[in-house]
Amino acid sequence: MNILLSIKFFYETDAAADFWKTVVASIIIVLGWFVPYFLTKRSESSKKSAQARASRYKEQIELFYGPLLNLLYQIRNSRIILDELKVDKHLVDDFEKYFREKYFVPVHTEITHILKTRLYLIEGDFKSLFFENGRNIIELYYQHTIQEDAQIYTKTLNKQSNLPGKHFPDDLYEAIATGLTICEAKYNNEIKKT
């Protein structure tokens, strides 16, 4: 009975009001500590995610799209120069051999190495640039380089090649250039978030 009287007395005095004021103030203080803490953690997590994505795009730019586009420009410009050369007919084969040994074969070797070792960098939305409508642009590129190697080999044997020529897939330039542009835009967007 004494307990009930003490509870009744507690609620009938200012002590109850002071108690509840203290409880509410304590809750506000605790929320004041934890809300900013959780908001800061969330912001840090978002920044870390943006940094990870930016790092991945940078890797794609530096190890895949940038080097490939540079090499493809070397091939394109070498082909343009070779086609524009005005040489005597008996020197055409010599110039083609020179360009093949100096430019085409080494550059194709580098491109093939990048494709073999870094193809994993094509991911997500970028895959549609290379594999669409039943076409695999990279496969067409490989067919072109293998066919070219076979033609070179038959010439070294002094035999006439009757291998049909596989054209260089011009879509490869567009796919790499588009991939690079998209990667750079996504990279810049993620950097702004950090």
pLDDT tens sequence across 35-66:
777 767 777 778 888 899 999 999 999 999 99
Please report, for the chain, the start and end positions of each structural domain, with discontinuous segments joined by +: 55-193
Q: How far apart are CA 187 and CA 181, in angstroms?
A: 10
Give Cα 146 to chain centroid, integer Å: 27
Q: Would you state the pLDDT for residue 10?
A: 52
Between 19 and 173, the higher pLDDT residue: 173
Indicate the SS3 state at residue 86: coil
Q: What is the pTM of this model?
A: 0.73
